[in-house]
Structure 1
Amino acid sequence: MQEPQERTGRARDLGRRAHLASRPDPRKWIQCPRPNPDASLRLVCLPYSGGRASVFTWLAAELPGDVEVCAIEFPGHGRRLGEAPMTRLRPLVEQLADVIAARIRPPFVLLGYSVGALIAFETARAFVRRGGPGPNALFVAAARAPHLRSPRPPLHELSRAELVEGLHRLAGRHNELLDNEELVDVMLPVLRADLGLDETYAREPGSPLDCPIAAFGGSEDWTVSRPSLEAWREHTTGDFSATTLPGGHFFLDSSRGLFAEALTAEIKRLDEMI
């Protein structure tokens, strides 16, 4: 019969093994279009609902050469399409924080687009809770401040036809990809999961971040008004800026050059503070 101390040690060892086994594999999560081990700054990019890591590929060629773009591929998206998308924000954030802590060398900035901005914000808060080094800045795009609710009706529980129509309205234009029935069959579960992360979100009380926040919005984005963009100011004790670019919710695509220039300006401003 095992002694109590031996059984306790064995249980503790099994617990450690289970924890290690449950950790996310960072290699699945991060894609770097232009790897640069000597980069002076890493920009960790989180995509919009249904988006894949590759939507940020072009950005690697537009930013300064000493900035490494590290794009996040969430479960169920892009190359991870065979995995189930995550439907709860807190576990997603905790796994993402684990991945970043394991694979991203500081200094780094989190850039979140649309629902990615919400995930980036909560990931920055997770680093604060853990007491370890977090992002040197938070860049948020096409997203209202997290304490504000969306002006549009929720989409994630609508019927197939209603959800497709709602996605057209959200984009501010007809998206021809949504005319492909087979593609819609594949993507709707992922889109429902991502939209649900945003539409069921309730911010827990907490202190503002101490890192700078830079917010970017589209001049024709009816879902994110200028006041709701500027309201991000409430979530930092550090520097804050808000920039409006031409385009709707997906100015990431329609104003690529201007967006890259705006990001570069914020990165250069951050360099002076690091």
Structure 2
Amino acid sequence: MTNTDGPILPPDGRESATSVREWILSTLGKRILCGHYPEGAALPIEADLCTEFDVSRTVLREAVKMLTAKGLLVSRKRAGTLVRSASNWNRLDADVLSWMGSLDPDPVFVRGLLEARLAIEPASARLAAMRSTSMDLATIEAAYHAMRTTPTDDLAGRIAADVAFHIGILEASHNPVFAGLGKLIKHALEDSFRLTTRTTESYSRALRAHGDVLEAIRLRQPDIASERMRALVDVAMVDLLHHLAMVGTDSPGEQALASASEG
């Protein structure tokens, strides 16, 4: 939601960084993603950033170059280094996904992810029903069991089990593209479930839907598995829209999402 005092700076993260460059890269990246440096705005001048981070111009320029390659920044003559519009950000970049995971979920991106899942996951469930091995089924069943038995107050545990369930099905499709996507979007799925796993009622409904998908895969019913997976992702979409209706649509991104839903 919009903060009247401006976006809150994300955690420093220096202690967990493996290098100074990684620390600067992640700090600047998170500041861009959370809106501390707004789209179209110029970054602080190089000298000020070097002073803030206590680093050389060379180290800072390397970080800026990497952020540029990820679509977050662009250099303009006489204008400096500018933050690009969100539509240009490479949100499937592994670093960007990791940074997003440490910030509040972006409802617009979560909606986009759900729409992508509607295209991908029913197909992966169909293939899993045809190709899954006994080991694949054991992995999916273990994730479902964890979803059922994780305490209600352990949201992180529930989310981890939910992610494992979906990635398990993507890998059980034995389609290398689907399997690769599962590993790539792990952080994005966690963000999605943080927004859509909100109440006991919605979680119970989603849990039943997960069980239905598992049963169809176990019984080797490709068409039914595909239909049930689509229904499962639809549940998440309904939960997301319900969440936005409950909290309001103060931010520009959430307003755009709500307008698209009404349309």
TM-score, normalised to structure 1, is 0.26
Report the structure, 1 or 2, having the larger strand content.
Answer: 1
Larger Rg: 2
- Higher percent of residues as helix: 2
User: Larger RCO: Structure 1 or Structure 2 (Cα < 8 Å, ≥ 6 residues apart)?
Assistant: 2
